[in-house]
Amino acid sequence: MLYVLLVIVHVTVSLALVLVVLLQVGKGQSIGAAFGGASSSQTFFGSRGPATFLSRLTAVSAALFMLTSLGLAYMSSSGDQGSSITDRTLPPVTDTVPAPTTTPAPSTTPAPVTAPPSTQEAPAPPAEPPKQTQ
């Protein structure tokens, strides 16, 4: 149960990390320009801009990603699972020859009498005169 919860947290943190990195802009650009203000100091994130906020969010999500990765690695190595997939394979199938089948001895009891199958014929199609070609 804890393993599944940690996997869910790990996937969520990894998606958040990708999103935060994609939100960051290159040098010389500001996110305020994307929203219509060329060099506005009155941005949503404050006068310093989104650089410190996004960089802190990136650092936190990267740290959480590494911690969940280490936790998942530790849980998978300390479990009762085999160390590799070859440890969990099925035993090889051996080729065996099937035992010869013997035919049953004829029965001395008479077979039950059943009604004969119906011999009704399908009705014949109506006769049509041959078509003449000209």
Distance of CA 77 to the CA centre of its chain: 24
Residue 13: per-residue pLDDT: 96
Short-list 49, 62, 69, CA closest to 21: 62
Residue 7: per-residue pLDDT: 94
Rounded CA-CA distance 13/134 in Å is 85
Burial of 60 (0-12, 13-18, 19+ CB in 10 A): middle
Tokens found for residue 31 = 């996110």
Q: Do 6 and 71 contact (CB within 8 A), yes or no?
A: yes
CA dihedral over 73, 77, 79, 82, signed as positive or negative: positive
Residuewise pLDDT in 10s, the chain (134 residues): 888 999 999 999 999 999 999 988 766 565 555 555 555 445 555 555 566 888 899 999 999 999 999 999 998 887 655 556 666 677 777 777 777 777 766 667 666 667 666 666 766 777 776 677 66
Residue 110: per-residue pLDDT: 66
Residue 14: per-residue pLDDT: 96
